[in-house]
Structures are given as structure tokens and as C-alpha cells.
Structure 1
């Protein structure tokens, strides 16, 4: 129902009173506030019947027409109305009616009386049997009392419908929880007919384009307002001046281009302010000075190119600041110094290309830093994060890094969670995080050129609990002991890589509570037998599907029998291999025999090899074998020399 329904009803009643008093003058044209025709007819239908009856009576039409018109009137709900009671409140009613007519005269000026017009005498119309007794009494009252009485009765009759119209179409109004939620609709102004005590208001995807001082004037108890995804282009000064208890204000995804300090006047208790996804180009100094209790400020996805000096002045208690997806060409170090208690900072997807030594000089309390989407290929040095000694979480995804930034990260001794996915390095080297001994979570995903994990990648990170290395299309090799000897490792996720084989020694698989290898083209041969056995253990999750050989593609590894893991050889290849093995054995045995026969000098084989012909008389094997020696090798005995001759 339109927010102007109440005004329309009161105006309609006033128009009927004019017709009652002056039947020859048509009622003033009612202001159409964009209501559908059926709804507009419903609004004025309750009063048109009475106007028609009065015209019948004034024009002196027949009794039958009068009764027909009279039968269409709604029955009065009061049990009895007496002339004595009317005398007591008629004067008060007349004053109230005149006051209301005066209030309505700003939009619908009352008709001026024309002295030339002559009112015909009143012709009484006999009441039908269907007419209630109170209404018959009403018809007998003097004409001077009818307008105020009719106005009060009509207003009372319209109250139930008016109460139903308080909540506009496509809205849900919970008066017990004091919550209003409006779905997408054509509402173009902030309704003023909600319960004035509501504490939570949510309206999105409407036609509202402007917020002014009237928008929330009647809702002083609001705690939470969400006006995201509308068409708001302007927020007038002092719009929220009366919302002293408002704690959350969401104006995300509108078209607000400029912020002023007076826009937030009165929001002394505001904790969360979201202006994400607007068209803000700059932040002037002191625009947040009235938000003394603000804890979270979201200015992401705007067009902010710079922050003027003192832009963040007054945000002493700010803990969360989102500035990602803007056009900042440098880190606003001077403004960050104004928020010394900042714990979470998002600066990703901006245009700066380096981080200087003093950019985070005053950010000793920072725990979470998001730089994802910033082109920092050559912009990180040993001094970049030196001031962030207490940093616990760092996001360097999609920063164009061609190698793991081990040196810049060496100053982050308290780092616990690191995201380095979507970069361009090809290898995770040995001991790449040797100085980050408190690291407990590592995320390396969607790296298009990552190919290898070297041995002992996390050798010094004994506190590591979770490793996620997923969706790397070229990662095909994980070295033995790459992720082994990590006593605290509980989650190992290696999904959707290009692993055809993985070593049993790559990790301490039996000690890991949850591990996953889904989405890898594992070769199901004898080298995967250990993996099949491991998948039967209760700590395995997901399933491994065979990527090869061709006969086993798409089959879950755990569903195969051990005899089917034949190292990738089909029966034909197995026969060829067995035949080759037999041939090799035969050749080896024959060679051994020949060598042994050759060494036997009296054998026929030996003689044959020496050139003797077995077919001749001298060459027979049964002829005794004789051998002549050269004369030089023959010793001739000599005569002994007498002793006397010596």
C-alpha cells in the first residue's frame, strides 16, 4: 500500500462531505500518487455509496431508487446511537472537523459556498427494512450535524483498512520484533507509515534516490538500517540527526558520489558504516568527525584516488578499514597514522606498485593485511613489512609475484596465515619460510605456472596445521619428504592439480587427519597400490579417480583389486615381456655351458675350436691326445761334475 493511503482516505472523506453538503458540485480531484486503478477504486469505494445516496435524496428521486441506494450502505457497527449522546459530543466533533479541514486545505482547498445556489428542500426517504436502526436515526438528524457525524463515522470505518496500509506492498512488518523488511518494489520515497518504534529496517532494490531530513524523522529508535542496492544518489545533511541509537548503517551499492560531515551528524553511537560499491572519488578532511564510536568502515569498490589530509580524523576506535578496489596510487600512510588501533586493513586491487619502509610505520597493532590484486612484482623488499611485527594474516594473492617472497616475509615472525595463490612462480623451494616459525596455515592455489614442490618445503615450520595447494594446472611433481616430518599437520588439501603419481614419502599420510587428492589424474598401477591401501583408512576423505591407463579411466581407485594394479601392462605386453625374459635366460645358460666346455682341454669342443677336423683319422675324439713342445722348452740332463775337480 502506498504511503499516501492515509492521506488519500482522509481526503476522500472530506470530498464526500462536500458532496453531502453541495450535491451539485463534484468532489475535488484527488491526488493520484501512482496507485493502480484497482487500488484507487478501493480507496474511494467506501465513500462513493454514501455520496450517491445523498444525491438521490437531494434530487428528490423516487423511493425505490432511494431504497436501492440505501441498501448498498455498510451497516453501522455501533449498537445504539441516541440523540442525547449526540448532544454531548456534537460540539467537540464540529471543532475537530473544522480543524482537520483546515489542515487538509493545504493540499485540497475547501470549496467556497455559492450564495446563488439554492438547496432544494430535504425529502425524507423511508428507510427500508434492511437499514439499521442507528442509521435511521442518523437520517433524521438535522443537516447541520450530519457532516461532522458522517466524518467521524467514515473515519472510524476506515481505520481497519488504514492499519493494514501502514506496511507497504512487498514489505514485511513485524510489530513484535520491531523489524521491517522490504523486498524489491517500486517505492520511490521512504515510507512514513511504519511503526515509529521499529529498530531494524531493511529495504533493497527499490526506487529510492534521495534521503532527506524527513526520511527517518519518525523512527528515532532505529538500531540497524540497511538501504543497500537502491538508487540513492544523495544523502542530505542531518538526515540521521534523530537516530542517536543507530549502530549499523549500510548504504552499499548505490550511486553516492560525495560525502560531507553533516551527512553523519547525530550518529554518535554508530559502530558499522558500509559505503561499498558507490561512486565516491575522494575523501575530504574531517568527514567522519561525528562518528566517534565507529569500529568498521567499508569504502571498497569506489573510485577513490586519494585521501585528503585528516580524512580519517576522529576515528580513534576504528578497528576495520576496507579500501580495496579503488584507484589509490600510493598507500595513505599519513591517514593510517590517525587510526592507531587498526586491526584489519584491506588495500588490495589498487594502483600502487610498491610498499615503502614507512608506509606501515604506525601500524604496530595490525593483525590482518590484504594486498591481493596489487601489482607488487618488484615492489617488495626486506623493509616492506618491517613495522608489522605483530601481523598474523597476510594476503598476497594475484600480486604478479614471479618467486616466493621469502626475504620480505622474513621480518614477520608472528605470521600465522599466508595466502600466496594466483601468482606466477614455478617452484616452491626448500625452506622457503624458514623465519616464519609460527605459520600454521598456507594457501597456494590457482597458480598457472606452478610445477614443483621441492624437498623439505616447510622443514622449519613445525607448527603448520593446514596446507592447501589446489587448482594448479601444471603441478605434476611433489618431491619425497616435501611435506613430511610436520607433527602438527592436520589438513592437507591437494585437490585439482596435475599429479599423475605421488610418493608415499611425500607426507606422513597416516598422521594427517584429513587429506584430499581429488581431481588429480592418478595413474592406477602398482605404484599406486600404497594409495589404495591408504584410502581404506578412516582418515581419508573424498575419492581418487584413475586418470590412466585407458582401461581404468574414471574408475575410483579404492574400488580396484590389487591384482588389477598391474603397473600399467595389459595381457599382450605381459606376454611379450615374459617371452623376452625366457629368451634372455636361454641365451645366458647356453653361454655358460660353452664357456665351461671351452675350459675343458680334452673335450671335442676344445679341439674343434682349435681347428682339428673330427672327420680325419687324426681328428677323431678317441685318438689319444699328444702335444709336442718346442726344443727350447726341453731340459737335457747334464753329467755331474766331480768334487775333486772343484
Structure 2
């Protein structure tokens, strides 16, 4: 081959050998990197998906723009593993929009205006592990809505308008571990058959709904659940068997409800519970044996309970493993019985600030063993009976872990 022919061949081959370069087609306001195969479009005015990006990109982020929908140009980016289209103006997701995205692992569509999804919306997403639909306008979940997503681990449906869930809406999600259904308009806990389809569920968020009550056995099929969040769920009572079956649960949040008593009978099913939040409820008394059976309880938060006045002797008899206790901002709490707390070898942190306590029994806690103590913002009467607290705070004044106290009387 002559030198001139060889040169012509090289010239012809160069475009084929050169790496695909999408930088020249990078939209204004976007950063396109053909080495890492990432495209990131910041706040801007994109109202359609870019059509001429590098088709090999693996990560595409178009947040805080004005996308209205997902059009056919999405099919050109079949190598995507991460797609974030959150904080746009999308109202609908056309069926089969992701049919060519067999490698996608995470899809973020949160904070749009999407009103409906069906079992055809997510066809093709057989490898996806995270789907975020938080902050949309979805009103109901239909039959097998997410069934194409057989490897889904985390599903966020919080802050929607969901009022109806088909009993089989979550069928097929054998690997689902985390489910957010908080801040919707549900008036009943999802049907038992719905939870039966989720054998791997570890975390369930159902707060900010309007349940009023939880019927017996509502969660009995969630054998692997370790965290249940029911804060602000509109609860007035919890039946004795409502939490039956939750043998592995470690964390429970029942704060910001309308519970008129500590649900002692329901809590007794939770032998492994370690963290419990009960603040912002309307009970007036924490009675003797209120947390009976919770022998593994490590952290207890009861804050902002507007009617709580008294904690009785023996309220925490069964809770010898308690490490952190927060009883703060209970504006009517003025009485802690001397024998309220007994034998707490692991207790290290106590917060009693912003209550109505005028005095504290010296025998209440092993005070000097505490690593953290905050009893500030109480109307203490600093008389001889409280001299021990003054001496304790003086002995610990080298540490910032003991909050100072200002006497209400004498001023």
C-alpha cells in the first residue's frame, strides 16, 4: 500500500477510533464529563430532556429544572445506572418510558407533580434498587404497581396524596427493605395481605396519616421489621395486639399522636425494643410498670407532652438497661417520685430541661455517674433540700456536659 493510500485510510479511521465525545453537545448549565460518564444539570430552564448527550453516560442528574415529561429521547441513554429528575414539573410518566434501561439502579422522581403510576410505568427496570417518588400527587396504588422492579430495596412514596392501596399493589417486592408511606391521606393501615408480600421489610414509615387506631395483628406478618415510625399518625389508641408479631423491632416512634395513656399492653410484645419515642401525646401520668417487658430498652424520649404532670414510682422497673432518658419540655411535669428510677447501671445521659420541676430527690438517679445531665429551665426552689444538686454541679463544672441551673427562688 502506498504512503498516500495509508494516510487516507488513517484519516478515514480516526473518527471511528476516537472516544465518543458529548462535551460539544452539553447544554448550557450542565456539566458533562465523558471520562466519568456523568452529566449534571444544575438549576436551569431545561423543559425537555437533552437529546444529544453521550449515549454512554451512566449518571444523569437534571434537578430543579422545568421538565414536563419523559420523552422518547430517554431511550438513547440505555447505559444509565443513576437517574435523578427531581424537583421538576413532570405531571405524567408515559408508559414504558424505561423499557430500555435494564442497568438502572436508582431512579429519583421526587418533588414533581406526578399524579399516577401503573404497572406499565416502570416496565424494564428489572435491576433497580431505589425508587424515590416522594413529594408528588399520587392518589392511589393500583394492582402490582411495582412488580417489574423485582430487586427493589427502597421505595419512597412519602408526601403524596395516597388514600387507597390495592391489597396487591406491592406484590413482587421480595427484596424491599425500606418503605416510606408517611405524609399521605391513609385512614387505615394497609391490609395484612399487602405486608405479606414484603418478607424482607426492615423499616416502615407510616407517620403523618389519619389512622385513629391500629387494629390487632396489623403488622403480624412483618417478621423482619426493625424500625416502625408512626409519629403524627393520628392515633388515639393502639389495641393490645396491634404490635403483635414484631419480634425483631428495635426502634418505635409513636410521638405526636393523641394517645391518652402509655400503650403498655401493646408495647409488651416488643421484647427487643431499644429505642422508643412517645413525646407530644396527651397522657397525664406515666404509671407504675408503664414499660413492662421492655428489658432491652436503651433510649426513651418523652418530650413535649402538653398534659404530662407526674411520673410514678416503678414506672421504669423493667428497664434496667436504660442508657439515655429524655423527659424534657413537658410544660406541666412537676412531680417525679423518689423511687421512679431504680438500679440503672448503664444510665449515662439524662435530660429533664424545660419542665415544671421545683425540686429533685437526691435518690432519683446515680447522679454522679452520669456523663450528661441537663435540668436547666425548671423553676427550682433552691433551698436546703436541693443543696446536693448545687454541690453536684460545682463538682462537675469543669465539664460542659452538665448544664447550669438558675434558681427560680430565691432569684
Question: TM-score of the superposition, structure 1-length normalised?
Answer: 0.57
Counterpart of 1:422?
280
Task: Say yes or no: does 1:301 pair with 2:159.
Answer: yes
The 2-side partners of 1:179 and 1:499 are apart by 58
Alpha carbons 1:522, 1:544 under 8 Å: kept:
no
The 1-side partners of 2:32 and 2:351 are apart by 46
Task: Say yes or no: does 1:168 pair with 2:27.
Answer: yes
Task: Find the residue that maps to 2:350 and give its secondary structure.
Answer: strand
Q: 1:534 to 1:174 in 2, by over 3 A?
A: farther
Task: Find the residue that maps to 1:266 and give its secondary structure.
Answer: coil
Counterpart of 2:17?
none
Alpha carbons 1:501, 1:522 under 8 Å: kept:
yes
The 2-side partners of 1:253 and 1:410 are apart by 39
The 2-side partners of 1:199 and 1:163 are apart by 13
Task: Say yes or no: does 1:364 pair with 2:223.
Answer: yes
The 1-side partners of 2:339 and 2:167 are apart by 53
The 2-side partners of 1:276 and 1:463 are apart by 37
The 2-side partners of 1:339 and 1:221 are apart by 29
Task: Say yes or no: does 1:206 pair with 2:65.
Answer: yes
The 1-side partners of 2:392 and 2:36 are apart by 54
The 2-side partners of 1:456 and 1:361 are apart by 30
Question: How well do the aligned residues superpose, as a CA RMSD in angstroms?
Answer: 2.4
The 1-side partners of 2:305 and 2:146 are apart by 40
Counterpart of 2:401?
541
1:165 shift after superposition: 5.1
Alpha carbons 2:202, 2:226 under 8 Å: kept:
yes
1:507 shift after superposition: 1.0
Counterpart of 1:194?
53
1:524 shift after superposition: 4.2
Task: Find the residue that maps to 2:213 and give its secondary structure.
Answer: coil
What are the superposed Cα offsets for residues 607-643 of structure 1, whole Å, 9 maximum, x if unpaired?
xxxxxxxxxxxxxxxxxxxxxxxxxxxxxxxxxxxxx
Counterpart of 2:184?
326
Q: 1:413 to 1:189 in 2, by over 3 A?
A: same
Task: Find the residue that maps to 2:76 and give its secondary structure.
Answer: coil
Q: 1:504 to 1:181 in 2, by over 3 A?
A: farther
Alignment of 1:253-402 (within 5 A): 253-332=111-190, 333-378=192-237, 380-402=238-260
The 1-side partners of 2:22 and 2:175 are apart by 43
Counterpart of 2:15?
none
Q: 1:414 to 1:191 in 2, by over 3 A?
A: same
1:363 shift after superposition: 1.6
Q: Which runs of 5+ in 1 are unaligned?
A: 1-84, 94-161, 553-646
Task: Find the residue that maps to 1:548 and give its secondary structure.
Answer: coil
Task: Find the residue that maps to 1:234 and give its secondary structure.
Answer: coil
Counterpart of 2:85?
227
Counterpart of 1:504?
362
Q: Which runs of 5+ in 2 are unaligned?
A: 13-20
Q: 1:459 to 1:163 in 2, by over 3 A?
A: closer
| Larger helix proportion of the pair | 1
The 1-side partners of 2:35 and 2:334 are apart by 60
Q: 1:178 to 1:499 in 2, by over 3 A?
A: farther
Counterpart of 1:249?
107
Alpha carbons 2:340, 2:364 under 8 Å: kept:
yes
The 2-side partners of 1:519 and 1:542 are apart by 13
1:163 shift after superposition: 7.0
Q: 1:434 to 1:218 in 2, by over 3 A?
A: same
Alpha carbons 1:512, 1:539 under 8 Å: kept:
no
Question: TM-score of the superposition, structure 2-length normalised?
Answer: 0.88
What are the superposed Cα offsets for residues 243-275 of structure 1, whole Å, 9 maximum, x if unpaired?
222111111111111112222122111001111
Alpha carbons 1:481, 1:507 under 8 Å: kept:
no
What are the superposed Cα offsets for residues 542-574 of structure 1, whole Å, 9 maximum, x if unpaired?
532414246x4xxxxxxxxxxxxxxxxxxxxxx
The 1-side partners of 2:234 and 2:367 are apart by 37
Greater RCO (CA < 8 Å, at least 6 residues apart): 2
Alpha carbons 2:26, 2:53 under 8 Å: kept:
yes
Alpha carbons 1:213, 1:237 under 8 Å: kept:
no
The 2-side partners of 1:181 and 1:483 are apart by 55
The 1-side partners of 2:40 and 2:349 are apart by 41
The 1-side partners of 2:380 and 2:32 are apart by 57
Alpha carbons 2:66, 2:89 under 8 Å: kept:
yes
Alpha carbons 1:229, 1:252 under 8 Å: kept:
yes
What are the superposed Cα offsets for residues 1-58 of structure 1, whole Å, 9 maximum, x if unpaired?
xxxxxxxxxxxxxxxxxxxxxxxxxxxxxxxxxxxxxxxxxxxxxxxxxxxxxxxxxx
1:396 shift after superposition: 1.1
Alpha carbons 1:519, 1:544 under 8 Å: kept:
no
Task: Say yes or no: does 1:405 pair with 2:263.
Answer: yes
Task: Find the residue that maps to 2:391 and give its secondary structure.
Answer: helix
The 2-side partners of 1:361 and 1:526 are apart by 54
Alpha carbons 2:150, 2:175 under 8 Å: kept:
yes
